[in-house]
A and B are shown apart, each in its own frame.
Chain A
């Protein structure tokens, strides 16, 4: 049982937009920054979004992040087959004194 709650799976047709939610509480998302990570099949995770909504260099602007209260959202526009991956949100939990992740969301491109 993960501290942060994500939907297990989402799907979208190529070119469409998809959003992935990440729900937490005031001890984690509500008072800390959120990151998003992409894990392509068989590879290590990669940083997609940091500080709630910033993209590292090299990450296309099709990927966006937002945060409101104790929830965060990853948005992907113009979905491509190469975006098929598992996506994880992560942040600090002040009550646990630990980094916490969501359970991950598998994106399927139909």
Chain B
């Protein structure tokens, strides 16, 4: 069974930093692209970032470019999101999300499994 378990969320002051983690199990983590998607309270889904299977390629939404860094440790089956210079508008539930296996059309921008999410609150 595919499982994605996020951790690291919490309350942080504006300008602060936080690192989210996502431990994956039930599949060969090193074969899949991974993403972070966020959802502000009562709002819609917003894609944040993605990373390819070996970590050599990353991509960010303009709203987080230069502040957030996505990375992965395939030996630990873990995805990370380092968030710096946090702003109130970064307050959201952050989901760790997996892309389907390569071979599916549009696999690198589709999402087949989602974690339960971790809440990040940026407030003084």
| B80 within 8 A of partner (CB) | no
Bound: A100/B120 CA distance, A: 21
CB distance A104 to B44 under 8 Å?
yes
B41 CB-CB contact with A under 8 Å: no
- The docked-state distance in angstroms from the alpha carbon of A33 to that of B59 is 19
- Name the contact of A44 in the complex, choosing from B50, B95, B110 (C-beta under 8 A): B95
In this complex, how many residues of chain A approach chain B with their Cβ under 8 Å: the count is 27
- Complex CA gap A56/B98 in Å reads 14
Do B61 and A50 touch across chains, with their CB atoms under 8 A apart?
A: no
Q: Are A92 and B44 in contact (CB under 8 A)?
A: no
Taking CB atoms, residues of chain A closer than 8 Å to B62 are 96, 98
A residues near B108, Cβ cutoff 8 Å: 92
Flag if B45 contacts A91 (CB, 8 Å).
no
B46 at the interface (CB under 8 A from A): yes
Interface segment out of the listed B7-15, B21-29, B69-77, B99-107: B99-107
Tell whether B116 is near chain A: CB-to-CB under 8 Å: yes
Task: Choose among A33, A39, A86, A98 the residue that contacts B106 (Cβ–Cβ < 8 A).
Answer: A33
Shortest CB distance B97–A (Å)? 8
Given A44-B95, A44-B115, residue A101 in contact with residue B106 (CB < 8 A):
no
Q: Which residues of B contact A90 (CB under 8 A)?
A: 45, 47, 109-111
Query: Would you give 19 A-B contacts (Cβ < 8 Å), ordered by A?
Result: A33-B106, A33-B109, A35-B111, A44-B117, A45-B114, A46-B114, A47-B110, A47-B111, A47-B113, A50-B100, A51-B104, A90-B109, A92-B106, A96-B62, A98-B47, A99-B109, A100-B47, A101-B47, A102-B44
